[in-house]
Structure formats: C-alpha cells, structure tokens
C-alpha cells in the first residue's frame, strides 16, 4: 500500500473524507477502462418491517449521537461507531484512513458525553485492502452499543441518515461538533471500490465524518461513511477487479457520498454480528 501518497493527498484537501487504497487508484498499463453498472438490489423486506418499528428522524438522530464517537488520530480526527462491549472494554469500528495519521498507533476516543479515553488499535482482525479498522477503549460508564444490520436488500430511494464529527463547524444544527444529515440511497455498486465502498447516497458527508454511521429508518447501522461527494483528486472510483469508472460514470458517481456496507465488515469480522454481541 502506498500510504505516504494517501496521507499527502488527504492533508492537502480541506474537504477530503475518503483516502483510498493506492492499489486501486493506480490502474496498470494495459488494463481496460470499464464502466461498471450501478445496480439496485431489490428484495422483499416483509419480515423486517413486521418485526421492527420505524423511528422518527429525531429518534434516529438521538440514536446516532449515542453510538458515534470522535477518533483523534495524530493531529486530526475522524468518527467511529461503538459496536461491542465486553466487560468494560468497548470496540469501535472506523475507517483505516482515519487511523493512519497516528504514527505510534496511539489514539484518543471522545465519547458522546464528552469524556476522552486512551484508545488502542485492535490488530487481531485483518481487513486487508478494506478501508476499515478497529480501536478499543476501557470505561466503567455504560455507553450504548449500536445495532448492526447485515441485510443485503437495500434499495434505491430508501431513506438513510449519516452522522459524524466534521472538522469544520458551519451551522447551528451541529451540536458540539456532531453533524446529522438526511438523504436516501441513490446507487448500489455491484463491485466495491476504494477499499469496500458500495452504497451511494445523497447525504452530505464532510471531512471528519469518515468512520461514522449510515443508519436506516429502523435505527440500524447499514454502512460506514468514508467518501464525500465531488472528490478533488484523480478518479477514486477504481473497482476491486482492477478496472476504473469511465469519465461519464465518474461524473455520475461523484454526485453522491459513499459508504462501506456493514455486511462487508461482518463478513470479515463475524464475531461482531448482532447475535454475538
């Protein structure tokens, strides 16, 4: 991985949220440029709607605030999601590109109540080329643990809510740096790009919100934020098969923010599946 290149690209952009695997950004000579079809996975959801109640946007905002933490890494920060508690040890999932700024792998985790804890990298789970990472902190305070959703039947037009801690505070809707935004799923990519990204959505995602949650109307986390709209550097839409989006498809995809599906995370780390928490 060409991480120095990634760090340089991120530090020079005030709005860059996603830092992508250089493996996918540098197309090999001779690799054809292919346009990948963006598809929607439409499947019945009857069992889910019968068993769970739809939350109001305000309820989902409160939920998001209770599970989202700020991950301080080096001289910057990103966001993270509390996904597990074992005794007094909490585990947080975030993006790998959030964690690379700490040279000594030392982090600080700011919880929803404003407390700051020393965090450590959990290195027993290997995400390989996926833009994911895990950190842990210990506390005797009882913090809420998120409800992860591994469903694969997301649909275009489905309402989603993104949250996190942007670096820049812009308006009164941002409480203590927390930002919550509404939108809907616009695209679902059959192939992942840039380290696992497949869910395209209309919500605004800003620098600092990487690693934060993407929630559905049931208050479940279905994705992990990481890529903002209109990236400034190159063509980040390089797919896992080595091809990259055409210029026309790049323009289309850049209209949306992108998240890694929770199901991708759980395929690599099944010990964090809801039944195991």
CATH code for the part of the protein at 68-146: 2.40.10.10
**Which CA distances in Å does 197 have to 172, 188, 223, 225, 232?**
30, 9, 9, 9, 17
Mean pLDDT of the chain: 81
Read off the pLDDT of residues 256-273 as tens digits, 9 standing for 90 and up.
999 999 999 999 999 999
Mean pLDDT over 71-83 rounds to 93
Residue 4, pLDDT score:
41
Q: Indicate if the pLDDT at residue 41 is higher than 60.
A: no
Class of domain 11-60+147-268: mainly beta
Taking residues 25-31, report their average pLDDT: 36
Residue predicted with more confidence, 179 or 26: 179
The whole-model pTM stands at 0.79
Q: Among the listed ranges 31-40, 98-107, 153-162, which one has the minimum average pLDDT value?
A: 31-40
Q: How sure is the predictor about 51, in pLDDT bands with cuts at 50, 70 and 90?
A: low
Q: Where are the alpha helices (DSSP H) in 14-95?
A: 22-25, 46-51, 57-67
- Structure letter (DSSP) for residue 8: H
DSSP H/E element including 188 = strand 179-193
- For residues 121-157, one letter each, b for 16 or more C-beta atoms within 10 angstroms of the residue's C-beta and e for the rest, the string is eeeeeebebbbbbbbbbeeeeebebbbbbbbeebebe
> Is 11-60+147-268's fold the same as 68-146's?
yes
Higher pLDDT, 21 or 270: 270
Statement: residue 46 has pLDDT above 60: no
What confidence tier does 160 reach under pLDDT thresholds 50, 70, 90?
A: very high
In the DSSP assignment, the letter for residue 37 is: P
Tokens found for residue 206: 């800003």
**Which pLDDT belongs to residue 52?**
76
**Residue 9 reports pLDDT greater than 90:** no
- Asked if residue 70 lies in contact with residue 109, where contact means CB atoms within 8 angstroms, the answer is yes
Whether the predicted pLDDT of 23 surpasses 90: no
**Domain residue ranges of the chain, discontinuous segments joined by +:** 11-60+147-268, 68-146
pLDDT band at residue 176 using 50, 70 and 90 as cut-offs: low
Q: Residue 16's pLDDT is what? A: 36
């Amino acid at each position: 991985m060409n991480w120095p290149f990634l760090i340089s690209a991120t530090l020079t952009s005030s709005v860059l949220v996603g830092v992508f695997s250089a493996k996918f950004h540098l197309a090999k000579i001779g690799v054809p440029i292919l346009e990948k079809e963006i598809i929607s996975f439409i499947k019945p959801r009857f069992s889910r709607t019968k068993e769970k109640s739809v939350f109001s946007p305000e309820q989902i905002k409160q939920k998001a605030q209770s599970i989202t933490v700020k991950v301080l890494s080096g001289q910057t920060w990103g966001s993270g999601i509390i996904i597990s508690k074992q005794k007094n040890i909490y585990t947080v999932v975030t993006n790998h590109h959030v964690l690379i700024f700490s040279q000594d792998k030392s982090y600080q985790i700011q919880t929803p109540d404003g407390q700051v804890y020393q965090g450590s990298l959990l290195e027993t789970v290997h995400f390989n080329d996926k833009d994911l990472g895990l950190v842990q902190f210990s506390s005797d305070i009882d913090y809420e643990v998120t409800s992860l959703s591994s469903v694969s039947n997301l649909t275009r037009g489905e309402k989603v809510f993104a949250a996190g801690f942007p670096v820049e505070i812009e308006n009164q809707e941002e409480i203590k740096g927390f930002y919550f935004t509404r939108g809907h799923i616009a695209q679902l990519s059959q192939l992942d790009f840039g380290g696992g990204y497949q869910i395209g959505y209309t919500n605004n995602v800003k620098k600092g919100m990487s690693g934060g949650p993407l929630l559905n109307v049931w208050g479940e986390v279905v994705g992990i934020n990481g890529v903002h709209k209109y990236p400034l550097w190159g063509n980040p839409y390089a797919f896992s098969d080595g091809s990259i989006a055409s210029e026309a498809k790049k323009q289309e995809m850049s209209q949306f923010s992108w998240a890694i599906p929770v199901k991708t995370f759980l395929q690599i780390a099944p010990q964090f599946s809801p039944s195991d928490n």
